[in-house]
Amino acid sequence: MKARIQVVLCKCCTEMPKLLNMEKLQKLAEDSSMVVSVMTVDAVCDGKDLARIVGEAKEREIDRAVVLACHKKDISPNLLKAYRRAGINEFLIELVNMREEVVLPHADEPERAQAKAETKLKAALTRAIMLAPLEKQSEEMKTKNVVIVGAGVAGQAAAHEAAKSGAHTVLLEKTSKSLKVPGVIMTHAQLVGASGYGGNFQLKIKAGEKVEELGAAAVVIATGGGWTTLKGPLAKAVKDAVPLYKFYEHMQSGMVPKGPVVIVDTPDPAGKTMKVQDYAWDDTLETVIQLKKKHPELLVYVIFQEMRAFGLSELAYKEAADLGVRFIRYDKAGAPKIDAKNPIALTVKDFSQGEVLDLKFGTLVFASIPANQDNQMIADALRIPMTVDGSIRRGSIQRWPVTTPKPGIFVCGSALFPKSRELAKAEGEAAGTMAGQFVKRGMIEYGGSVAQVTPEKCSACLTCIRTCPYEAPFIGAANKAEIKVQACQGCGMCVGICPSKAIDLHHYTDDQVMEEARTLLGGDF
């Protein structure tokens, strides 16, 4: 293996404080094989020095470099750009974090620090020789479509925001409600299948009876809560019980509710688990206040396990109480019951007062927001994770709050977690913006440090396919695993788990990792 290596030592990072013996390091570098140029610069982050480095690199026609500097994240952008100008592939540049790994933490032990630095240099050189050039590719997004599943508060907000950054929004709505939002609106439509990857999805959408294909660059999941799927003894006992949002709509439309009105947090208060569905408190309080203001004579009860009047809705809580709304807290033991034979009275034990109450009611309202049943179908179609209680699971917060683990798929509102209208709207806007920005790029960047399969070794055991969070591996025409490069994020999970060692990760191949480790362990410090 022939190579022409340039070694760059950054004084700013590796010398300050005066700890390491730069001359020795330089000497070591010069003496190692295949090193054609060694430079010591004041600061690699400094434009002038970068220019010098590049000049030298061109002149000595080096083909790879080892840079001893500081934290990768800080220097790599400019450094790599500079080297690209010198026509050197970014994956042939090995950055060594001398500053944070050697100089700073070992300030009191110069000898050991020096030895460690030298070993790290050796390791970097070993690795540099093994590095291979990699090209990043890009692919045009075929459409500007942002498909938004669900046209609730969050969905509509998302549509508005996405449209602002020039995306074509397609809103899928299960019912036939008419809306004023930009873009296409498909009623009676459901997402039933999907293929592809962030930027170029192929979605199967069931509109009415027929199923049609639709290309999409990004997907926003805004299915909201599963209001319609209220389950539990109370719901069973009282046929005409309504979910909160319905009650609210009726109220807006000027309908006078049959009193007294009883609002219960969940239809399954004595449920096996300690399940208290995060009851849309702000909405409930808003509703009862309006109700009380409209009809002061009406008796209104709110029955709950946990009063989650977050933030400013605490004030609404007070206001409601002052208006004469009766709040009753219960616990498992005294959970509300309704005699199915005469479903007009509800028995509940007021926990704080300890008395058992018999409440006659005209209207029974449930404020809980169960997880939406459709989530399962959608998560299945898009192959994204869910939580145990049936809502969509958000990806790592390292990425962003409203994202799923899969790039290009965003999620907002009660699909993630039961929320109030107001917050759902904000999340919708956030998700919409992100989707819009994602589409605006118009290109998918991919490749580089991604996984690759050696077909001869593959046993098509499907382990990689089951393990990958991004659906990148698939079984190709040759009945061997292949990697969908556009979907691969380069985490290497499939590589680590492949029982036949048929997959390897570019830039972090087994040999590269183990050789580096070996060299590092070779040093004595």
Partner 1 sequence: MNQVLIVGGGPAGLTAAKTLVDRGTEVVLVERKESLGGMARELTCKGLVECRNCGVCFAMDRAGEILREPNAEVLLLSEVASATKADHGYSVKIKTAPRYITDDCIGCGKCVAVCPVEGKAIFPPTGSGQPRLHWIDKSKCLHFKKGKCDKCASVCPTHAVDFEDRAKNITRNVNAVVYATGIDPIDACEMSRLGCGILKDVVSSVDAERILNEKGRLMRPSDGKAPKKIAVMQCVGSRTVKVGVEYCSKFCCKYATKMSQLLLDTDPDINLDFYFMDLRTLYEPQDEFKLWAKSKKTVKLIRSMPSVVLPGKDGKLLLRAAGETDLDITETEYDLIILSVGMRPSGASAELAKSLGIQTDKSGFAVANHELESKGVFVCGAVSEPMDIEETAVRAAATVSKMHHQKEVGT
Partner 2 sequence: MAERKPKVIGFCCEKHGMDAAVLSARSGKQFDASVRLVQVPCTGRVDGIHILKALEDGADSVFVLGCLEKNCYYDTGSIEGRKRVEYVKQMLSEVGIEKERVEMFNAASTNAWAFPEIVSKMVGVAKKLGPIGGEKQ
Partner 3 sequence: MIVAKRKPLNEIVEMLAPYKKVTVIGCRSCVAICLAGGEKEVKMLVSALKVKNRKEGRKQELDGLVVERQCEKEWVKEVEDKVLDSDITLSMACSLGAQTIGDMYPSHLTFPGLNTGIFGVPEEQGVWSEKCVGCGNCIIHTTGGICPISRCAKSMLNGPCGGSANRKCEVNLEIDCAWAAIYDRLKIQNRLDLIEKIMPAKDWSTSHAGGRRVYVREDAKLTPHQKKGKEAVQ
Residues that bind partner 2 (CB under 8 A): 71-72, 97, 99-102, 104-109, 112-113, 116, 119, 385, 395-399, 405, 449, 467, 469, 489-493, 495-497, 505, 508, 510, 513-514, 516-518, 520-525
CB of 460 to partner 3, least distance (A): 8
What, of partner 2, partner 1, partner 3, none, does residue 509 touch, CB below 5 to 8 Å by kind?
none
Give the bridge partners for 358, in sequence order.
347
Question: Quick one: three-class SS letters along 392-411?
Answer: ECCCCCCCCCCECCCCCEEE
CB of 389 to partner 1, least distance (A): 6
- Rounded Cα distance between 462 and 468, Å, is 10
CB of 69 to partner 2, least distance (A): 13
CB of 25 to partner 3, least distance (A): 32
- Residue span binding partner 1 (CB under 8 A) among the ranges 136-144, 185-193, 292-300, 346-354: 346-354
Contact string (CB under 8 A) for partner 1, positions 349-388, x = contact: --xx-x----------------x----------------x
DSSP tag of 414:
G
What, of partner 2, partner 1, partner 3, none, does residue 426 touch, CB below 5 to 8 Å by kind?
partner 1
For residue 200, give Cα distances in angstroms to 163, 207, 442: 18, 21, 10
HSE toward the beta carbon, residue 268, CA cutoff 13 A: 13
Q: Does 102 participate in binding partner 1 (rule CB under 8 A)?
A: no
- SS3 at position 266: coil
Please state whether beta strands 168-172 and 145-149 pair in parallel, antiparallel, or not at all (unpaired).
Answer: parallel
Yes or no: say if 358 and 325 are a contact pair by the CB < 8 Å rule. no
For residue 95, give Cα distances in angstroms to 41, 98, 196, 457, 517: 15, 9, 34, 32, 16
- Rounded Cα distance between 329 and 105, Å, is 56
Q: Does 467 participate in binding partner 3 (rule CB under 8 A)?
A: yes
Q: Does 42 participate in binding partner 1 (rule CB under 8 A)?
A: no
- SS3 at position 86: coil
Q: Does 46 participate in binding partner 1 (rule CB under 8 A)?
A: no
Placement of tokens 């309704």 in the chain:
338
The interface with partner 1 within residues 68-97 (CB under 8 A) comprises 73-74, 77
What, of partner 3, partner 1, partner 2, none, does residue 200 touch, CB below 5 to 8 Å by kind?
none
Token representation of residue 154: 């969050």
Q: Does 452 participate in binding partner 3 (rule CB under 8 A)?
A: no
Give the bridge partners for 411, in sequence order.
221
- Rounded Cα distance between 192 and 114, Å, is 61
What, of partner 1, partner 3, partner 2, none, does residue 495 touch, CB below 5 to 8 Å by kind?
partner 2
Give the bridge partners for 503, in sequence order.
453
Q: How many residues bind partner 1 (CB under 8 A)?
A: 56
Tally the residues of the chain: 525
What, of partner 1, partner 3, partner 2, none, does residue 449 touch, CB below 5 to 8 Å by kind?
partner 2
CB of 315 to partner 1, least distance (A): 6
Among positions 51, 256, 315, 461, the unique one binding partner 1 when judged by CB under 8 A: 315
Complex with partner 3: residue 383 or 440, whichever CB lies closer: 383
Q: Does 463 participate in binding partner 3 (rule CB under 8 A)?
A: yes
- Residue span binding partner 1 (CB under 8 A) among the ranges 48-56, 57-65, 87-95, 100-108: 100-108
Give the bridge partners for 186, in sequence order.
172
Token representation of residue 89: 């592939």
Q: Does 18 participate in binding partner 1 (rule CB under 8 A)?
A: yes
Measured from the Cβ of residue 440, the count of other Cβ atoms closer than 10 Å reads 14
- Supply angle C-alpha 492, 495, 500, rounded to 5: 175
Residues near partner 1 (CB under 8 A) are: 12, 16-18, 73-74, 77, 99, 103-104, 107, 161, 164-165, 273-278, 306-315, 318, 351-352, 354, 371, 388-389, 396-398, 400-402, 417-418, 423, 425-427, 429-430, 432-434, 437, 440
